[in-house]
Amino acid sequence: MMDLNLKNYFETQNNLLPIEHALDAIIRKNSRFTRDSSGGCEKVWYPEDSSVLCWINIEKTGFETHWHPSVEIIMPLDNEYYVTLTHENFTLKEGDIIIIPPGELHELSTPPSGMRLIIVFDYTVISGIKGFPGMWGPLSSPTLITAENAPEIHQKAQNTLLNILNVYIENAPLWEISIYSLMMQFFILANKKYMDSSVLFPNTTQLKQNKYIEKFHAIFDYIDKNYMNDLTLEELADAAGFSKFHFSRIFKQVTNSSFPEYLNKRRIRAAETMLLDTSLPITDIAMMCGFSSISTFNRVFKSVKHHTPTDFKRLYNSQGTPHEQTSA
């Protein structure tokens, strides 16, 4: 494990700004930013009509249990940080990275002092890119990237996040496009934690391993386009050229979910967007997302989001317009 002081690293790598200057620059860029997690649902305010928000959090207070429809990435720069999920607690050491998927209930706690990089962004901006559904592994459940559990990608992931912060601070033309380019690099790295062909397909040639990986990416694309239909494990296994049981095992290893769980999460992700952005009746949303009955939809939605669809919509709408303030 490399002994890396991220605070010093931030200041020396690629001529990045000193931390103090970075804090000042972020305060100016996020001049209207405030964060209110009370009430359960947080509406994320993005600066300059963008879809990316970065900041160096030095607050001594945390955030109570909440969720938001954006992806959140946290990396402590100095001292620890604590993330509490519904079924799991994480103590993030300096340099550890956690990816919190959209809609995931979480609580954030802090030691008496410390500094952590937090990035929040709207993943739908890049989710339509061909092949992106195949990277759903790091977004299907909270993903921890550390020097211990992902030594081959950890330092590169750190560098990418720090470069994202630097681009955000510089605020040059096309900064948001540059950030999303870096974000794609980050998720390609994170995806390697799940799509290690030598582990998924041992005792096969590299050529065959690559072909199998391509098949799985095609399967994820197919699910993304047909989640509203009656998909079966047998159908997908046959398309991938695997037995049902072999396909099921690899699918679970890649996504951290069984096929039915993954399909339900994809359907709920679509339903979440419809609930937030449209006035469609909940029954219509259920049917449009592939659920055969409203009772099944309600049950699955609550198991994934920890709220009923009605509560989910009400919690989000109750937050209103994000508050404005003159300093971060």
180-194 confidence digits (pLDDT tens) = 999 989 988 887 766
Do 268 and 252 lie in one domain? The reply is no
Using alpha carbons, select from 247, 290, 246 the residue that is nearest to residue 266. 290
In a domain, 223, yes or no: yes
Residue type, 116: R
Do 32 and 139 lie in one domain? The reply is yes
Residue 62 φ then ψ, to 5°: -95, -155
Instruction: Write down the pTM of the prediction.
Output: 0.76
CATH code of the domain in which 66 resides? 2.60.120.280
Residue type, 41: C
In a domain, 328, yes or no: no
Q: What is the pLDDT of residue 3?
A: 37
Q: What is the pLDDT of residue 4?
A: 43
Q: How does residue 23 score in pLDDT terms, banded at 50, 70 and 90?
A: low
Q: In which domain, by residue range, is 214 found?
A: 197-256
Total length of the chain = 328
What are 56's strand-pairing partners?
117
Q: How does residue 325 score in pLDDT terms, banded at 50, 70 and 90?
A: very low
Domain boundary among 192, 225, 247: 192
SS3 1: coil
Quote the number of domains for the chain.
Answer: 3
Q: How far is CA 126 from CA 169, 181, 297, in A?
A: 22, 10, 27
**Maximum distance among all Cα pairs of the chain, rounded to whole angstroms:** 60
Does residue 24 carry a pLDDT above 90? no
Domain boundary among 192, 213, 234: 192
Cβ-proximal residues to 299 (8 Å cutoff; 6+ apart), any chain:
none
Q: Round to whole Å and give the CA distance between 127 and 218.
A: 15
Do 90 and 201 lie in one domain? The reply is no
Residue type, 57: N
Do 42 and 165 lie in one domain? The reply is yes
Residue type, 161: L
What pLDDT digit, counting tens, does each position of 38-91 carry? 656 777 777 777 889 988 888 888 888 888 878 999 999 989 999 998 778 999
Do 47 and 154 lie in one domain? The reply is yes
DSSP letters for 7-46: HHHHHHGGGPPPHHHHHHHHHHHTTT-----TTSB-PPP-
Does residue 2 carry a pLDDT above 50? no
Domain boundary among 192, 221, 248: 192
Q: What is the pLDDT of residue 142?
A: 85
CATH code of the domain in which 300 resides? 1.10.10.60
In a domain, 323, yes or no: no
In a domain, 326, yes or no: no
Do 37 and 143 lie in one domain? The reply is yes
Do 36 and 79 lie in one domain? The reply is yes
Q: How far is CA 201 from the centre of its chain?
A: 26
